[in-house]
Structure 1
Amino acid sequence: MAIVFRELPWYAQALVYLLLLVAIVAVGEFAPVPYVSVQPIRQQLESAKADAKAMQDEVARLRDYERRHAQFRTEMEALERQLATLQAIVPEEKEVDDFIRILQGAAAASNVAIRRLEAKALVPKEYYNEAPFEVEMDGPYFAVLDFFTRLGRIPRIINVGDLSFKGIDETRGKKYPLRPGTTVTGSVVATTFFTKGAEPPPPVPQPGKQPAKQPAKR
């Protein structure tokens, strides 16, 4: 005949609860439970956090470097454009052929004839050199004015001085024929500039002084 637990006396129910508690404690005490230490896992977690922080710092540094590199590249491009502009205004080399083409192009566009072009001695300055050219030309008066105007619009610096012009009535007997419409003829000194250092001139010996002897070559 089945016995209902609730129908047992209270002291019997208490005894059953006590026996169950003892059984549970015994199982927990004697059953093989694997021991797991949390210290290594904690150390691995801290190491992973440190690595993640280092990687974040490296990414931030690389992003800053990328930003500064882009800024530096922009500044370099601006300086290169500025240098190209300055070299067009005052070239590094003398560039005589290019200078002659500039003069001939401006003269042809203005209907002015260049009869003679003679290079003069260089004039070295502290930071640049002057390269003067004597230019003999003729043409209509307003065409000559237009020629000078065109030279003033060219990026390369060209100074024009020592102007000497006369009417064609004062220049009879020229060895070349003048074109129709020519009213003036004369010469100017057109000076261009370049930055490359010229060879220093040899020293001029002083009167009464012997030039210094060069050491004998071995």
Structure 2
Amino acid sequence: MNLKDLGNLPRSQKIILLALIFIVLIGGFVYFIFLPGKAEFDALKTSVNELNQKINTNEVKLRRLEELKVENMQLQSQLAMLQAQLPMEQEVSSLLKQVSDLSIESGLEVKLWKPGARKKDSSGMYLEIPVDVEVSGGYHSLASFFDRISKLPRIVNITNLNMDGAKVSGGGTSIQNKFVATTFSAVIEGTEDLPDSKKVKKKEKESPEAR
């Protein structure tokens, strides 16, 4: 069929033929151009969304990182302040003697002064140094002693307080007091893995004269 024959076709057939040609052209455009382009567009859009999500996630992580840095600096500052209150091991004996002296200055009579085994706390950053103490004296003397302990620049905790055996003598009441005085020592670098028995030679004192 040539163009001359097409010109002789009835009008209705011409319209149908043109419609078929239009449909073929549209179909070719959709199949060969639009669909591949749309698939590429969708893939690119997905990649962009994933990239934006990663960017948002990283921005959140970055903000969290900055928050963690600030928090870490605050914790480091608090740790430094606490460590300043912890004596080194060579200072512990002087601190314990100071505590014993305070008990005597407060009017208490020391019946027992027995350092216990030192142990490292769960964080491994300091040693706990307990001392079993037994003193006798009045309520006022004991309160004065505890008040002086609380004002020491170093940390000394008083626990397991037991008060009994009140006796009246010399116009006053004397009470037997038992408690554990615990101080803390910073762990010296390089000795963390040594047993406590090798790091510290325990000294037991049964009376104030043993000091």
Pick the structure with more strand per residue: 2
Work out which of the two has the higher radius of gyration on C-alpha atoms and give 1 or 2: 1
Q: TM-score under structure 2 normalisation?
A: 0.46
Q: TM-score under structure 1 normalisation?
A: 0.45
Pick the structure with more helix per residue: 2
